[in-house]
């Protein structure tokens, strides 16, 4: 294929005259696949871009970005499109009762009924980007489709999954998709929660046709491994010029809201030495959080994301202030010690300002290590492909941390342009998208075709 041909095809992929799916997924001519057996990176790049752009149409916001909230029409249409694409790739699509969509490629080994699962989530934040979650679904589809066309049916069954929900952007709960697979949640015991319009989770689910026992139960016990491809959502890979991040584990998190109470006073008539200024105390606490985190060093991060003074007017010394603290670390012990020191220091600061401080911990998630065997395999694969990689922790939550409760799990990161995520400006280059799919395909090949004994 000449450069002109490539340009022409790219233009078609991105333009209104998209090629039919069969054509898109059949583009791996011998020339492109390469004669040396190496995966067709350029093909993967174009397929990923085309499929991500197509998927991004479902829920595209007129003001930019994509909003695909759990069980919404946009979400339903996206799942339906994926179902069609799975079919087109020769996978057998099926839903479970939570609305998770799977595409199954049956294994040939009659003695091994386990499943190698790969994918990510289909939902987005409000006005999110094209890549978060979607890349892991599309990448899995491209990788499995490639393996099937190149090598035929696997020994172990391969499944691509598009989890119903991970972001928590419609209802105040996260991991509804993978959580139903692992037994963390259960569609028959739906939490009594509502979205911003007052619609219950149960009504939304039923309205989309799920939670009605029309589909198979979500809970799975046949999954032998889960591999999730995802954008980094941070800038570490980009800054260090690495193409692949191999996730050692997903950090634990704790989130708090602290309330400082002092005394509201007239800003003009209250001498500085009389004040019990809740905001100043809160500011010193916020600065402590940052300083202590800098001193602790990676992988600890701590963030004061919200801070408010009350009454919050220019000419009143604030009588109250509140702020959030979000703390993450790969080790539970280190996380706990940081929080303990922080609370002690807050008390000292409060005493100095003549104010009180109270805090509630409203979120606590333990660190989740990824499978050491799978991450070791990923490292070897990167070396053999000559791909620059690094081991790292994920500071964000992912479906893999949930699924790891029922099987060995691994995650592969690719760089995020400028570290931007949860934004219409999310971007990952075609080359990096392709590299992630190459690594995923390699690992899936080892696990499903070679019957790698590591799991």
Site residues (vs its own copies, CB under 8 A) = 232-236, 239, 251, 253, 255, 257, 265-274, 277, 279-280, 282-284, 286-287, 290, 293-294, 297-309, 311-318, 324-326, 328, 394-397, 419, 421-422
The minimum distance between CB 18 and its own copies, in angstroms, equals 32
The minimum distance between CB 253 and its own copies, in angstroms, equals 7
Nearer to its own copies, 111 or 272 (CB): 272
Orientation of helix 3-14 relative to helix 41-56, angle to 10°? 20
- Rounded distance between C-alpha atoms, residue 157 and residue 94, angstroms: 14
Distance of CA 302 to the CA centre of its chain: 20
Task: Give the dihedral sign, CA 215/217/220/225.
Answer: positive
Nearer to its own copies, 100 or 253 (CB): 253
The minimum distance between CB 281 and its own copies, in angstroms, equals 10
Q: What token pair was written down for 377?
A: 């395999």
The minimum distance between CB 66 and its own copies, in angstroms, equals 18
The minimum distance between CB 270 and its own copies, in angstroms, equals 6
Q: What kind and span of H or E run contains 338?
A: helix 332-353
Nearer to its own copies, 195 or 277 (CB): 277
Nearer to its own copies, 94 or 427 (CB): 427
The minimum distance between CB 8 and its own copies, in angstroms, equals 37
Measured torsion, CA atoms of residues 374, 377, 379, 382, in degrees rounded to the nearest 10: -120
- Rounded distance between C-alpha atoms, residue 93 and residue 363, angstroms: 35
Nearer to its own copies, 146 or 288 (CB): 288
Nearer to its own copies, 97 or 238 (CB): 238
Q: What token pair was written down for 393?
A: 């922790």
Measured torsion, CA atoms of residues 101, 106, 109, 111, in degrees rounded to the nearest 10: 40
Q: What is the CB-side half-sphere exposure of residue 294 using CA atoms within 13 A? A: 6
């Amino acid at each position: 294929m000449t450069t002109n041909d490539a340009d022409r095809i790219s233009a078609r992929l991105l333009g209104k005259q998209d090629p039919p799916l069969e054509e898109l997924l059949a583009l791996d001519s011998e020339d492109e696949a390469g004669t040396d057996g190496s995966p067709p990176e350029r093909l993967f790049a174009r397929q990923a871009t085309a499929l991500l752009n197509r998927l991004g149409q479902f829920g595209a916001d007129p003001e930019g970005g994509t909003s695909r909230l759990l069980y919404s029409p946009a979400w339903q249409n996206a799942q339906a499109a994926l179902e069609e694409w799975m079919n087109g790739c020769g996978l057998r699509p099926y839903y479970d009762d939570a609305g998770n969509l799977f595409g199954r490629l049956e294994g040939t080994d009659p003695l091994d009924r386990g499943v190698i699962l790969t994918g990510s989530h289909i939902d987005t934040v409000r006005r999110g980007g094209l890549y978060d979650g979607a890349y892991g679904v599309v990448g899995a589809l491209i990788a499995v489709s490639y393996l099937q066309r190149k090598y035929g049916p696997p020994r172990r069954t391969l499944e691509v999954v598009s989890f119903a929900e991970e972001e928590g952007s419609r209802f105040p709960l996260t991991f509804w998709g993978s959580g139903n697979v692992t037994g963390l949640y259960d569609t028959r015991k739906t939490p009594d929660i509502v979205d911003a319009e007052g619609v219950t989770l149960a009504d939304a689910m039923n309205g989309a046709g799920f939670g009605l026992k029309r589909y198979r139960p979500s809970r799975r016990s046949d999954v032998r491994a889960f591999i999730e491809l995802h954008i980094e959502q941070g800038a570490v890979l980009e800054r260090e010029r690495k193409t692949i991040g191999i996730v050692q584990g997903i950090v634990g998190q704790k989130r708090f809201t602290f309330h400082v109470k002092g005394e509201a006073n007239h800003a003009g008539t209250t001498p500085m030495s009389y004040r019990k200024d809740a905001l100043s105390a809160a500011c010193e606490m916020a600065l402590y959080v940052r300083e202590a985190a800098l001193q602790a060093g990676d992988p600890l991060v701590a963030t004061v994301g919200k801070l408010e003074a009350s009454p919050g007017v220019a000419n009143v010394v604030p009588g109250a202030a509140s702020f959030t603290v979000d703390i993450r670390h790969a080790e539970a012990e280190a996380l706990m010690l940081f929080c303990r020191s922080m609370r002690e220091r807050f008390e000292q600061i409060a005493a100095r300002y003549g104010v009180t401080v109270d805090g509630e911990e409203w979120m606590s998630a333990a660190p989740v290590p990824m499978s050491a065997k799978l991450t070791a395999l990923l490292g070897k694969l990167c070396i053999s492909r000559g791909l620059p990689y690094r081991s790292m922790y994920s500071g964000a939550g992912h479906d893999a941390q949930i699924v790891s409760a029922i099987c060995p799990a691994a995650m592969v990161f690719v760089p995020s342009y400028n570290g931007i995520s949860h934004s219409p400006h999310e971007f990952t280059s075609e080359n990096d998208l392709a590299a992630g799919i190459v690594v995923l395909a390699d690992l899936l090949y080892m696990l499903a075709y070679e019957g790698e004994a590591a799991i």
